Amino acid sequence: MKTALVNLHGRAALRRGDGAVDLEKASRGALPSDPMAAIRAWDVVRDWAAASLAGASEGLVTTLDEAALGPPVPFPAQVFALGLNYRDHAAEAGLELPKSPMIFTKFPSCLAGPRAAVPIGSSRVDWEVELVAVIGRGGRNIPEAKALEHVAGYCVGQDVSDRRLQFSDTPAQFSLGKSLANFGPIGPAVISLDAIPDPNDLALTCDVSGERMQSARTSLMVFSVPETIAYLSRHCTLLPGDLIFTGTPAGVGSVRNPRRYLAVGDEITSEIEHLGTLVNRCVAPAAE
Ligand code: ZN
């Protein structure tokens, strides 16, 4: 049964119809209120949802205000991200496909909710819609054939990128320019695998102020989610709640002709079928 975990005012809740159910209250304390603890107990949460979500009577929120949602995975230990993982994006950038997954990080402090405002502090801030895999069960040396057993679910991610910082020197540095405040909106929910017919063939789009900038399918990925998990876990220990931003397709602003970057007042709409939509308004940076 589809399970959709959201972060409502810092508490774990499960979507039900147009509303949500507070996990800890609805389970009368049997399940955690902390979204990270809910991910760590994902199998138990899913079993409870299948048995009890429809009939739950405590902790109901009848209409969910998406503006109140935080990132469904607020404090992962590790956030992995892939560069050049779509054939069409590598082609538009004029770069060869990597022979192994090209890994960088988004520092976890950049994560933000599905309606979070994104401060724009430079004239070269770009958009990247991405499928994000959420690790449910950690491990090392995970074989590709068993990799999806380690995935709790998926959400939409927006890998906002300050190209000025990214390419300020040679060689380029990826992680810092992709980790500014609110540069990692994710959500709106962690959606369980059973609700996604084929994660290797999902439509994903990114619109900026109503103009379609990216439109592709995850079938264009160079390294699939199972291949990436197998590769990462040969080198790192994966932990419950870890995120993997799986790369962006063609259509980013820095390689468009003419180039196009985000400006204060723009609205970034990032959507993946079966997973939902992020809507993030670009705002002026705060004074400090
Ligand atoms: Zn990216």
pLDDT grade for 172, boundaries at 50, 70 and 90: confident
Taking the model in full, what pTM does it have? 0.97
116 CA to centre of ligand 1 in angstroms: 18
Reading the block at residue 6, the tokens are 């959201």
pLDDT above 80 (res 287):
no
Q: Could you please state the CATH topology (level 3) that the domain comprising 79-283 is classified under.
A: Fumarylacetoacetate hydrolase; domain 2 (3.90.850)
Q: Of 185, 187, 130, which Cα lies nearest the Cα of 155?
A: 187
Task: Give the pLDDT confidence score for residue 288 in this predicted structure.
Answer: 62
Average pLDDT, the chain: 96
pLDDT above 90 (res 173):
no
1: helix, coil or strand?
A: coil
Q: How many CB atoms lie within 10 A of CB 10?
A: 10
Of residues 112 and 89, the one with the higher pLDDT is 112
pLDDT in tens, 178-196: 999 999 999 999 999 999 9
Distances from the Cα of 157 to the Cα of 59, 88, 194, 246, 247, angstroms? 28, 19, 20, 9, 10
Reading the block at residue 230, the tokens are 């197998």
26 CA to centre of ligand 1 in angstroms: 37
pLDDT in tens, 10-36: 999 999 999 999 999 999 999 999 999
165 CA to centre of ligand 1 in angstroms: 15
Q: Which residues pair with 12 in a beta bridge?
A: 7
Amino acid at site 215: S
222 CA to centre of ligand 1 in angstroms: 13
Task: Give the pLDDT confidence score for residue 86 in this predicted structure.
Answer: 96
Task: Give the pLDDT confidence score for residue 263 in this predicted structure.
Answer: 97
184 CA to centre of ligand 1 in angstroms: 10
126 CA to centre of ligand 1 in angstroms: 10
159 CA to centre of ligand 1 in angstroms: 5
Distance, in Å, from the CA atom of 274 to the CA atom of 137, rounded to the nearest integer, reads 22
50 CA to centre of ligand 1 in angstroms: 34
% of the chain residues with pLDDT over 90: 91
82 CA to centre of ligand 1 in angstroms: 6
Q: Of 244, 7, 10, which Cα lies nearest the Cα of 106?
A: 244
In the chain, domain spans? 4-64, 79-283
| Chain mean position to CA 63 | 23
**Residues 166, 178 contacting (CB under 8 angstroms):** yes
pLDDT in tens, 40-96: 999 999 999 999 999 999 999 888 988 999 999 999 999 999 999 999 998 888 889
